[in-house]
Structure 1
Amino acid sequence: MTTSATTSTAVPIIPPITSTTTTAPAAAVPAGPAGPAEIVDLLVVGAGPAGCAAALRALQLRPQTRVVMLDAADFPRDKACGDGIAPHGLDVLRALGVPDAAAGYAPVDRMRLRAPGGAQVATPCPRANYVVPRKVFDARLAAAARARGAVLRRERVRSVAPGPNAGDPVVVNGYLRAQVVIGADGANSVTRRALGIGPNPPEALAIAVRGYADAPRADRPPEQLIEMTDEGWPAYAWSFPIGDGRANIGYGMLRSKLDELHGNSGGRAVLHGTLARMLPDQPAHPGTLRAHHLPLSTWRPRQPDGAVLLAGDAASLINPLTGEGIYYALLSGSLAGQAAVTVSPSAVGAAYRHALDRELGRHLRHTTLLAGLAGRHRTLMDSAVQAASHRTELFDTLLEIGLGRGTIPTASLARLAVRKLVAGRR
């Protein structure tokens, strides 16, 4: 059981490689529907962190694999996100042979948590986090995947059609055939819809607005701020310093709470207005505010058998306590890429599902329990933050649960289980 951020190291099932420059021969891929159809080994829908990790892992294990990544955007491109890169995600990237994804950005080794009732804790983190704009971070990962041998094409995926029989190629956009497809195409995943899996319900879907602002004054050490609020609980604002004079700022809440409290009165105005009210000293730079959905892991679709896999946001892998998703994306992408080149296409879905459960299952069950209790009992978060201000080991445990794959200590788990049972009977 992992209970402290100081114990987290590189994911053991992803061994490091000795060179980051191994390049596989580029696959001959049709340029579009008019070109001759060709079967590729692995087609990745989406070239964000999950998709790039999948390509990197597949080519790490099988350099000759013909990997194609399709993305609707050119890189570099902006992506609405908190830009926080936890050390756990960098562990995965180092194991994949990408040690410099956060190069040039200063580590941020302090975090301040403010609970709705006023309790707060500001303590050095056991391991530093980084704040790297996704425009930079994702472009670096895409470049690393291309250097390893993946083909990256700008193309919007509109259809994903598994074959009628086990082992049949999956047809993408009506012409491109792949032995395995990994859907890493985000919260509005086309791949997920093609599998007959609908979106998260409003109570398991967060909506957030992100902007860029001037960083807080420089007369104190830089720190990541998460400030929770009673309005629409569970909800919070954040301010993460990038190190270049700017900070990534934002505010998020559950879609169900936004609908419940404000109906059709204008969600954008509510999000923008609450962010401005909670961070009055950091007005957003003009033109930087963008909203995005976060499908929370409290409602995860079952990964089906077969040759189509879901990773990252497409698999609802977003921590319901913090909104963290990049670590989950990198880890799940790595596991999907590994399964794609080590298991037959007819069995790859089941193998990947079991790998995900082995690596994240217990952690995800614990975060679901905590999120449910915190949503019903706001004072639970006040008490946790208050206790963490006096107990370093508890703060470390909270960070590991919120940013990595930590679990609830056994003694605390029993008490929380009883509390959930009592709450359910009321």
Structure 2
Amino acid sequence: MKDLVFLIFALVLVGIFVRLKINIAISIFLTAIITSLFKGLGFFAVLHLMLKTLMHVDTINMIFVIIIVTYLGELLKTSYLLSDITSDFKKILSPKAFLPLFSLVVGLLPMPGGALVSAPMVEEGASDVEIYPNEKALLNFWFRHVWEPISPLYPEFLLGVSILGTTIGKVISIQWPISLGMLLSGIVFIIPLIKSDTKPKDRISLFLALDIAKNLSTIILIFVMLLIFKKLPSFIAMLFGLLYLVILRKVPLHTLKVSFKYKKVFEYAFLIYSIFFLREIVTSTNFAQSVFIELQQLGAPEHLILFALPFSIGFLAGISSASIGIAYPLLMPLLKVHNVLVSSNVLIAYLGVWTALLFTPMHLCLSLSVDYFKTEFGKVYKLMIKPFLLLLIITLSWFLFLKFKP
């Protein structure tokens, strides 16, 4: 029971940290240290995990990505490319269309730190629109995550397919209501937060289409590189996009210097490190396996275990790949019976993954969105309740159909 009790304590602790408005990176780092102490890790063991996290290829890649994306976002503003992009879209679309569209398009690809790519576009596009910082943060975060449950472009999706030993089509046929629910709930509850009656001024023309393509070419280049060179480290594609932007806009040296925000880069780098450090502790101590065993010993209902284990791992790790990669193998006796996939159980397990991803402050996209728009987690969570409930209703309706279909 001790691991289960500590899990509840850790979740409450994170909530307290958020409530007290303690810096999220510090909160996650402290949670990692407390977890390591609970699991009985000595000083040198913790130091080893800290160094291992620092040297891990995922940590290094992600830190490089965030440094470059942060710099890219600033250059998009200081080179006035963002204002040109939003000006083009304002001519042919209303703010209620082009603001969510920015996040939807960026979310098509599993771009680490992608929230920082769409955030400046949302910020610039909303410059003359009545919308609060917490509303912009939610819009940027929510619409960016419409595609992941059904997109084979996401490594996390493919990881789930591989562990389940099934086909891409089968997993899409199970998880599609989550993507639909994200889109519909965003349309119903989030887009109305954009208070604007502005109408498009022009119709699309060849000249305008070419201008839009030129202004978006930096982001398009990054997309194309990530699609073609699937094994290419993300930060290299970002770096090429950065260099292309400098050449395209002929950015002067002074602008290059003032656009690099050292403090912001350091804060984001520490946030990434803290998230990966906590993930390392959770995985290296077999924490999830202990929780799974204790839930079984308590005689917890099957569906509670299916939801709770991926949720708890996802909430602490903040990464869906960690939640799927750790929880799914432990849950295989429930996900597959007599070597036949139980679709309804898979959906509940993924709902656990997804719920954690939406609400955990350890999720980098959420933390970056909250930080970028200078708002608070509590204010974003409050706005998230209604769209999440609609998402839940849609998903559980599909669960009931899968469970009781003839």
TM bin (shorter chain): under 0.3
Greater per-residue strand proportion: 1
TM-score, normalised via structure 1 length: 0.24
- In the superposition, the TM-score normalised over structure 2's length comes to 0.24
